[in-house]
Amino acid sequence: MTPSNPAARQRGARISCGSITRRAALAAAAIAALGGIAPNALAQAWPNKPLRIIVPYTPGGSSDIIARAISPMLSEALKQPVIVENKPGASGNMGADQTAKASDGLTVMLCDVSALAISPSLYTRLAFDPSKDLKGVAMLAYSPHMLVVHPSVPANNLKELVELSKKSKMDFAVTAMGSAPHLAGFQVASLTGAKWEYIPYKGGSQAVTDTIAGQTQVLMNGMLATLPFVQQNKLKVIGVSKATRVPLLPNVPTLAEQGATGFESGTWQGILAPASMPKANIDRLSAELIRIIRSPDLRARLASQGAEVHTMGPAEMDAFFNKERKSWAAVVAKSGLKLD
């Protein structure tokens, strides 16, 4: 029976509306509990706290440079602070292990992907499995290695450097034992007969600093972190490890041109996430990173330093990693190098 009193009718309407509202809220909660929220809605809600980018090397290297270049724009896109943390140690494996085991859903890593691909065949024991515990998010950039020497070294090309290395003691600064630059140096020596002693460092920046100071004579390192010192005449370039000459240094021949036949190497900077990170979050982060690194200003800035923007999505990056792991395994086997 409908109440004849107007006030009672209004109270009834309020009760009815309130019941509907409560029922709707309960239904929405039930749908959410059953996973009924659309993936896009979940992706948009992430991240709800600051995102952390681990760089598993010391400051000043190629990965660190790129991480700090993209972090302000990524923070703006995600509407959350983006914090870059350097976690060096064990040729990058300490930071990689920390990333692999992160369970907060807010930790990723920016590293030299090739260096990470070397670890499974180089180390007798690893606390994590790079292929299973980490997922590719986005490849960002590539820069060739540069073979450089202290300006006092009386060699201006690879042939002269090889001959000098056979007559004089020559220390080769290694950015990290078993790193891509280390194995690249081994390959050059294998192809040309060069002889040098490898001096290990905990990161590229200190290796560069000591070579500039003359404490080591030879260095192989990523162009992004090394070119500024060549331009300042603090280091002398012998060659680059690219298949073709670099536009920034058109008069500098490649190492392959100078006798290291078929030789090519470089650093591939990319972002990886723990395998536990939801696909929707990885896909969103990948899209934002690729958009940012392709922006004209950042692309031009990196190009002026010798890095090429080279992007890959998650699936392509995982395939690249697996290919790199197999190819570097052959180099490690040939070198005979093994680390604990």
pLDDT (tens digit per residue) in 133-189: 999 999 999 999 999 999 999 999 999 999 999 999 999 999 888 889 999 999 999
* pLDDT-based confidence at residue 8 (cuts at 50, 70, 90): very low
Whether the CB-CB separation of 117 and 332 falls below 8 Å is answered with no
Element (H, E) at 218: strand 218-222
Q: What is the pLDDT of residues 287-319, one digit of tens each?
A: 999 999 999 999 999 999 999 999 999 999 999
**What is the full DSSP assignment across 244-301?**
S--TTSTTS-BTTTTT-TT---EEEEEEEEETTS-HHHHHHHHHHHHHHHTSHHHHHH
Whether the CB-CB separation of 140 and 310 falls below 8 Å is answered with yes
Residue 108: phi and psi, rounded to 5, are: -135, 175
pTM of the predicted protein model: 0.83
Determine the pLDDT at residue 203: 83
Half-sphere exposure of 58 (CA within 13 A, CB side): 13
Residue written as token pair 């040098």: 196
Q: What sign has the CA pseudo-torsion 313, 314, 315, 316?
A: positive
Q: Closest by alpha carbon to 166, among 142, 143, 194?
A: 194
Report in angstroms the alpha-carbon separations of 84 from 75, 107, 116, 228, 235: 11, 10, 19, 23, 29
Judged against a pLDDT cut of 80, whether residue 96 lies above it is answered with: yes
Residue written as token pair 């790079």: 130
Q: What is the pLDDT of residues 248-291, one digit of tens each?
A: 999 999 999 999 999 999 999 999 999 999 999 999 999 999 99
Whether the CB-CB separation of 138 and 312 falls below 8 Å is answered with yes
* pLDDT-based confidence at residue 30 (cuts at 50, 70, 90): very low
Q: Is 202 exposed, middle or buried (0-12, 13-18, 19+ CB in 10 A)?
A: middle
Q: Rg (Cα) of the chain, in Å, rounded?
A: 26
Q: Are strands 171-174 and 197-200 parallel, antiparallel or unpaired?
A: parallel
Q: Closest by alpha carbon to 143, among 50, 46, 269?
A: 269
Q: Is the peptide bond preceding residue 47 cis, with omega within 30 degrees of 0?
A: yes
Determine the pLDDT at residue 44: 58
**What is the full DSSP assignment across 102-155?**
--SS-EEEEEEHHHHHHHHHHBS--SS-HHHHEEEEEEEEEEEEEEEE-TTSS-
Structure tokens at 171: 């220390």
